[in-house]
Amino acid sequence: MSETGAIGHVVDVRSTTLRVALGVGSKGFTKVGPYGLQTVGVVNSYITVPAGANRVVGIVSGVYINGSQERRGREPLATEDDIATYELEATIVGRFEGNVFKSGLTGYPPLHAPVQAATPEEVKDIFLPRGGPSLRIGTSAVATEQAVHLDANLLLGHHCAVVGSTGSGKSCTVTAIIDGLLDHEIPNGHIVIFDINGEYAQSFAPGTSRGKKTRPLVLGPKPGTDSGLFLPHWFMNNEEHLNLLRASEGVQAPVLQRAIADARVAGATTNVEMLRLQNVGSSLALVEGAFTDSKGGAETTFAQLAGLQSVVDEQVTVGGACAEQWVKIKECLDYGIRKAAVPNAKWTALTPQQRDVLAKMIGAVRAQISLAFNTLGMGSGQAAPDFDAPIYYSLQELCDYFLPTRIQLEQASDNRIASYVTTLQMRLSRLLADGRYDFITRVEKHSDPLGSYLKALMGIDPTSGDPGSDWPAASLFQELPETRCSGPSVTIFDLSLVANDVLESVTALLGRILFDFAVRSKPRAEHPVLLVLEEAHRFVPSGRDPSGGLSRSAAVFERIAKEGRKFGLSLLLASQRPSELSETVVAQCGTVIAHRLTHEADQGLLRHATALSSRALLDQLPSLAQQHALVTGVSTGVPVAVRVRDVDDPPKSDDPNFIATWNDAGKLADLPGHIDRIVKEWQGDLP
């Protein structure tokens, strides 16, 4: 390599850094060369150095005056500038093989090797990935005329994290990444956004340029079927049920699992026998309740037994899978009713003899019901259906019937079971009574629930254009503008009004559904999905739960981070506190876009999670300006300081203008009405 245009020579070579002594002509930090006047020694600029057949590329991380040289003899007077040694330090980031830039090193330059400032063409080659699609993230912070591109497939295939203190521009950077993807024709693109602050709906409004390029669907913010923000409880798998109800492993978990399996069988079948067995069990419970009625037990018991006898007689004539058990139930009822001889009389209590006969009859009938459940796949002696199968069942029926029935069945082997499961029953009852959970616990049964839900997630009309569809949020698609384009789908879950204590269960279940869908898709990665997590530290926390294990949400997203890439499920995380993020997830992010970070713990996590060559650059994090960021990782050839591109219709994350708002007397006059509107919506239909 000719030394024409050299700015200095190498004086120190280390594993990741070079030290360069600047030449006399470069001490003014400019150099005239073949490309005109070039700035020399600017932090975040690039240099090249010959190393065998290749040229090593370094990014300038520091510039120094190394002190005065010793004066010898009677030398003419010289200025400090003449006798000082000017040096720069650069972090090695890659190499040029011919004119092609590649990351990594195959060799180091020798001492005294000439150093040149990277030419504009070389900088362009560094910032523009070759061999695949790219997205424009912004411009170089040093060479402002030079656009910075990221390799789109590497960005998506290896996950990405956008971090920075509040107000540093994270949400706009996430939007800039989406805009970069929308620069491509991607009609089969699918983006799902978990929006915890309600920021993104306005960015994809129908009248915006982004809304015209995509098929946006906003679910929420008020939880419920009307807004589309609902999540049927029967989608939950075994672990999610246990987590939601905090079932202990010893006794509660097995009993709950079997009860849910029983409920799923009942929910999935149209078998009249199943419904009638439930009816018989409920009536027997009412008869038992009448034992303690000192004023009118006889009348209640007579009515229940007469009704039971009619139902059982009809079922015996029909036959069915449990025909043998129905015949024996009829025999038990006929004998018990005749012997007890309960009168149809008001204000009459049951006698001890009647209670004794009825108690024996109830025990015998329940034994036959248990055998019938066995026959239908619900008994303790039979293998249960898949605990994780997303099959409809009624949570209210689980509470009122299936869980108590399962407890009675298990009591046969351990009479302490009921006391062990009491707290679980209380939690289930409280869950059903809490209106905040209605969008999970009280979703009505409808056609193809899982299929229609996945279609909505992927931007497909779950109603198939049927105005009579029973999909709970059918009105959402009917109200969408007819001008929706054929571009990629963007589904936004506005979670801003979801109660904090249920948020983890919601996001964990949504993430797991997307992951299971991706895993089951054949061929693999046929329909890739980008999952955007705003305020990701809320979904993927670094801490452990009280039991010492991972939270359910963290476990789900850690699995996606580790395994999602091969199935076409990519994560884009945004967080203002990376130190509160799961270190496993951060370590799996192949690209990190870091805005201003002032907390030492946040900076420390990034230093451990990024490549060795990028760590020196992270010292700049506390002083980065708004909209500026450091980009490191597999999607960019080199670590780069970038000014993120401007975005139209940014997310609603601007800082409030306190003084201007406080100066507005009109807003003060409207404050009472404003409070009334908020309170009315807050309290819902309460008086």
Same domain? 112 vs 239: no
Question: Which of residues 418, 441, 464 is at a domain's end?
Answer: 441
Residue 99 located in a structural domain: yes
Structure confidence at residue 666 (pLDDT): 84
Q: Which residues, 6+ apart, have CB-to-CB distance to 190 below 8 Å?
A: 457, 458, 459, 488, 489, 491, 527, 528, 529, 530
Structure confidence at residue 545 (pLDDT): 60
H-type alpha helices, 568-631: 583-587, 600-609
Residue 128 located in a structural domain: no
Q: How far apart are the first and last CA of the chain?
A: 84
Question: Which of residues 402, 419, 441 is at a domain's end?
Answer: 441
Name beta bridge partners: 644.
Answer: 138
CA–CA gap between residue 492 and residue 506 (Å, rounded): 14
- CB neighbours of residue 233 within 10 Å: 23
CA–CA gap between residue 574 and residue 629 (Å, rounded): 13
Helix (H, G, I), strand (E, B) or coil at 594: strand
Same domain? 107 vs 240: no
Helix 552-567 and helix 500-520, axial crossing angle in degrees, nearest 10: 20
Q: Is the dihedral of CA 138, 143, 149, 155 positive or negative?
A: negative
Work out the angle at residue 375's Cα, subtended by the Cα atoms of residues 370 and 379, and round it to the nearest 5 degrees: 45
Structure confidence at residue 360 (pLDDT): 93
Q: Which residues, 6+ apart, have CB-to-CB distance to 152 below 8 Å?
A: 132, 133, 134, 135, 180, 181, 184, 635
On whether the pTM is more than 0.85, the answer is: no
* Per-residue exposure over 429-449, b if at least 16 CB sit within 10 Å of its own CB, e if not: eebbeeeebebbbbbeebeeb
Structure confidence at residue 687 (pLDDT): 44
Question: Which of residues 119, 140, 170 is at a domain's end?
Answer: 119
Residue 405 located in a structural domain: yes
- Separation in Å, CA 661 to CA 649, 652, 673, 679: 22, 17, 17, 22
Residue 339 located in a structural domain: yes
Residue 167 located in a structural domain: no
Of 86, 104, 76, the C-alpha closest to 41 is 86
CA–CA gap between residue 206 and residue 490 (Å, rounded): 12
Block means of pLDDT (10 residues each) for the chain, length 687 residues? Answer: 72 91 70 61 87 91 73 54 78 88 87 90 81 88 85 93 88 94 92 94 90 91 92 90 87 89 70 76 85 84 90 87 90 92 88 92 89 69 59 89 83 82 93 90 91 91 86 85 79 92 88 92 90 91 64 89 93 90 88 87 71 66 87 84 91 78 84 84 61
Contacts made by residues 248-256, CB under 8 angstroms, sequence distance 24+ = 248/424, 250/420, 251/417, 251/420, 251/421, 252/420, 252/421, 252/423, 252/424, 255/403, 255/406, 255/407, 255/410, 255/417, 255/421, 255/424, 256/403, 256/424
CA–CA gap between residue 253 and residue 241 (Å, rounded): 9
- Separation in Å, CA 651 to CA 135, 203, 210, 556, 571: 20, 6, 12, 27, 19
- Residue 250 corresponds to which tokens in the numbers above? 């010893």
H-type alpha helices, 521-617: 552-567, 583-587, 600-609
Residue 76 located in a structural domain: yes
Structure confidence at residue 610 (pLDDT): 66
- Residue 227 corresponds to which tokens in the numbers above? 């807004």
Residue 353 located in a structural domain: yes
Residue 501 located in a structural domain: no
Tell me the residue length of the chain. 687
Q: How many CA atoms lie within 13 A of 30 on its CB side?
A: 3
- Domain containing 86 equals 6-119
Name beta bridge partners: 643.
Answer: 139, 628
* Total domain count, the chain: 2
Region for 92 from its dihedrals, namely left if φ exceeds 0, alpha if ψ lies in -120 to 50, beta otherwise: beta
Name beta bridge partners: 60.
Answer: 90
DSSP 39-74: E-S-TT-EEEEEETTEEEEEEEEEEEEEEEPPP-SS
Amino acid at 40: V
Q: Please check whether residue 443 is in contact with residue 452, taking contact to mean a CB–CB distance below 8 angstroms.
A: no
Q: Is the dihedral of CA 195, 198, 203, 207 positive or negative?
A: positive
> Residue holding tokens 């093989």?
97
CA–CA gap between residue 140 and residue 143 (Å, rounded): 5
Q: How many CA atoms lie within 13 A of 213 on its CB side?
A: 17
Q: Which residues, 6+ apart, have CB-to-CB distance to 623 below 8 Å?
A: 596
- Separation in Å, CA 124 to CA 35, 153, 184, 271: 14, 19, 20, 69
